[in-house]
Amino acid sequence: MLNPSSGASARTRRRLAVAGAAVAAALLAGATPAQADPLLDGDKLILTNGIASIEGASGGGLASWSTIAGMETDRGIGLSAHVTGIALPDYGWESHGVAVGIRDRVELSYARQNFDTRKVGAALGLGEGFRFNQDIFGAKLRLIGDTVYGSPWLPQISIGVQHKRSLDGAIVRAVGAKSASGTDFSASATKLILSKSVLVNATARWTSANQFGLLGFGGPKGSARTLQFEGSLAYMLTSRLVVGGEVRTRPDNLGIAREDDAHDLFVAWAFDRHATVTAAYVDVGSVATFDGQRGALVSLQLAF
């Protein structure tokens, strides 16, 4: 007599065999369900995501680049976080923030800047150790090109916006700023020429910010946005070690103090795939009547 369950058992064995064949095919193709297009794919080349600029957007120390934050490719989402400090002769500066990259196409960023006046605060009547604070909300969109791949003559081009909001509105207006908040618009072109190990960036910024926005926007010398330039040139000593320099022009709107262009020389070392430390010599010129503000920048970024 036939076992009534034998037919069911045979069908079960056939289904298991078909399922096993499907799993084997997926393994051979290198795409198991758990491995297919992970959200945090992390497949960018090291350092090609840039570092966090002083305003939180990905780029160099002073300049925003067309790069998108995070280690994601066009298949996933990337995350990064940074903390940066600058020691100047008469001031201290610190920022921290986070950024999200979406499919290597869109970047959203936030940074908080804190500017310590130290003893200068007392001389300015603000009180020793008074701090100016600013929030910066940014967004960037990659339009065309690729920093690394594609035509060697077509750079990656992105447009960006940064809304900056001083948390000390009454004071920045007292020093002559027209407004305590403002919005910068930018367009950047960045290309890594792999055959020469050279990265070149040029950014045009339309802004009215005083001292990057820490002292408000506009003033007696000018209230409208003006077009400013940010340029970067870097050389890759190895795939994990980069040296370079930057220049950034700035508006000069306030009547009480001259504002100079800023420069830096930097070295960035990716000591881990997800961690980069940057050290730089920075010259921001005159700040609130105090000349010769040159010092050291140190920044740590984690990116995934």
CATH code of residue 259: 2.40.160.40
Predicted pLDDT of residue 218: 97
26 with 112, same domain: the answer is no
Count of domains forming the chain: 2
3-state DSSP of the chain: CCCCCHHHHHHHHHHHHHHHHHHHHHHHCCCCCCCCCCCCCCCCCCCCCCEECCCCCEECCCCECCCCCCCCCCCCEEEEEEEEEEECCCCEEEEEEEEEEECCCEEEEEEEEEEECCCHHHHCCCCCCCEEEEEEEEEEEEEECCCCCCCCCCCEEEEEEEEEEECCHHHHHHCCCCECEEEEEEEEEEEEECCCCEEEEEEEEEECECHHHCCCECECCECCCEEEEEEEEEEEEECCEEEEEEEECCCCCCCCCCCCCEEEEEEEEEEECCEEEEEEEEECCCECCECCCEEEEEEEEEEC
Are 20 and 111 members of one domain? Answer: no
Residues 44-67: b if buried by 16+ CB within 10 A, e if exposed: bebbbbbbbbbbbbbbbbbbbbbb
Residue 70 domain-assigned (yes or no): yes
Q: By residue range, what is the domain housing residue 137? A: 51-303
Classify residue 204 by burial, with Cβ atoms within 10 Å: 0-12, 13-18, 19+.
Answer: middle
Q: Are residues 130 and 13 in the same domain?
A: no
Same-domain pairing of 184 and 215: yes
24 within a domain of the structure (yes/no): yes
Query: Same domain, yes or no, for 205 and 103?
Result: yes
Q: What is the distance between the alpha carbons of residues 63 and 230, in angstroms, rounded to a whole number?
A: 6
265 and 162, same structural domain?
A: yes
**What was the pLDDT predicted at 2?**
38
Is 17 among the domain residues? Answer: yes
What integer pLDDT is reported at residue 82 of this predicted model? Answer: 98
Q: pTM value? A: 0.86
Q: Could you read off the pLDDT tens digit of each residue along the chain, which spans 304 residues?
A: 434 444 445 554 555 444 444 444 444 344 444 455 688 889 999 999 999 999 999 999 999 999 999 999 999 999 999 999 999 999 999 999 999 999 999 999 999 999 999 999 988 888 999 999 999 999 999 999 999 999 989 999 999 999 999 999 999 999 999 999 999 999 999 999 999 999 999 999 999 999 999 999 999 999 999 999 999 999 999 999 999 999 999 999 999 889 999 999 999 999 999 999 999 999 999 998 899 999 999 999 999 9
Whether residues 99 and 216 share a domain: the answer is: yes
**Whole-number Å distance between alpha carbons of 216 and 106:** 28
Whether 28 and 66 map to the same domain: the answer is no
Whole-angstrom CA distances from 86 to 63, 89, 96, 173, 214 are: 15, 10, 12, 25, 14
Do 92 and 176 fall within a single domain? Answer: yes
- Is 229 a domain residue? yes
Q: How many residues does the chain have?
A: 304
Specify the pLDDT at position 257: 86
**Measured distance CA(247)–CA(242) in Å, rounded:** 17
* Same domain (yes/no): 83, 195: yes
Q: What is the pLDDT of residue 15?
A: 53
Q: Could you tell me which residues are beta bridge partners of residue 302?
A: 81, 275
Tell whether 1 is covered by a domain: no
What is the model's pLDDT at position 30? Answer: 45
- Per the domain annotation, does 228 fall within a domain? yes
User: Are 146 and 263 contained in the same domain?
Assistant: yes
- Decide if 42 is inside a domain: no
Inside any domain, residue 45: no
260 and 190 share one domain: yes
